[in-house]
Structure 1
């Protein structure tokens, strides 16, 4: 017997919801029983340095993973597990000496062991989520996944210290918030989350792929902004993966064609990926692979707008259908 997706980016009566505004409290720790909650921060500097911090909390324990890639050097990863503390009024979560928090309109990210990181994210765009950000699975929608983007694009500045060498960091960044209350393999085979930047344009996209129980249904979302203003939010996106390769047991896309059913129509072609790193701290059966890629944004205006750019794609590979309790 197959279940069907209960609803996505919609209310429970299948009425499409416009993007709902995000608040500071909605990006804070929600503290729901049985739920894994995580926050992802990404930054790319002008000199080619890339880093991301993934912090997840589940069943009283916090886990954090830092990935740092620098041109011509070995990729560094650091992990930490410890009890966590968190506020419920705004983002303020600590796992040991790892600290992420919101201060006014800005966000601070700190890692103080081995690698010393102190970054400030100054948002360039308001937060966004597709509809209410929630995908419901099961006959009653009692399994859910929530994805929201408090920071679609930010100016990032601060300091980075590795092996005693301290440098200033300046670049662009992104931040999202994720919540899930079931082992992902119970509903999904995998997902892609992507960011693409070209000049004043910011394009975000997502593709969640259902398993056989959900007839392989794909749930998509896209977002487009120019300068400091959102101009598009839609679930009408066709994702075509033309070629895949494998790294550390994870299949990732080599070339992707994204076609948005918008007016005017838009298309984003993603290609020439460079794998940055793989890893996971999730308790709900997912591994992550991060790629830097080149691409092109085309908007069917008169004349057609075609802009080259670059971005990052995260592949989520679902691994099992049980909650992982090991260290």
Structure 2
């Protein structure tokens, strides 16, 4: 049986809680980085050939011990690698709860409470960024890369209303977008996925603070317009991956609007500054963005992955993704 018998389930849940508590309590006493031996890992996995059933508790213990041995431990107090802190206790509990209930939110009627939790949180985050009440729409996603891809599709749909049906061949010109040289590589990948190619991406030089040079941005946009290209998306980064630099958001937004382009703020990393009054000024102008990327699995300590796409255009997601079946 998929759900196992009740006594087995009870032992499994108890053991799972013991493993999690032991890990949280003792992770600081171990090493931060894992053993790096693919041969050892593959040898351990050979025992699982899927020809015979495995005891659930043994399988759980095997997975836990292997993760301890072969994983960089982000909850470790000496971990200073990427931007993923120790998950909050309530985040761990929420992950377990969601796995048990398995809500299907592709259709609102299937899990209306979960769907409205998503909507409620998107509105709350939007308000923190400065979006007016009643104007925020959004969706949770796997992380910043997916949110940035969503932003590019929304920008194309906004600038070219026929894009969703006719694609890039019917746009009447070369669409171009603008990011800083320090922006996240997900925009280059999204340009490929959208059929634009990386040749449509303009990587703008940065200043001595590693933030986008707005003079260079204006020059590049003017050059493209003169060449007959069509600026459709301008991106400001609030917290670059390499240095944490924050682009001049308000100034970039003004340039984007004057060019008739969608203005997106990638605040996947730095967006949590909106919650701290002493830091909020760094994000000035974000509330004027057409869309925002934010990652809750960074400063908010949600388990991976918890990205958010926010927009102040309540109809754009429907226009971008709606299909009729």
TM-score by length of 1: 0.28
Larger-gyration structure (1/2) = 2
- The structure where helix makes up a greater share of residues is 2
Greater length-normalized contact order (CA 8 Å, ≥ 6 residues apart): 2
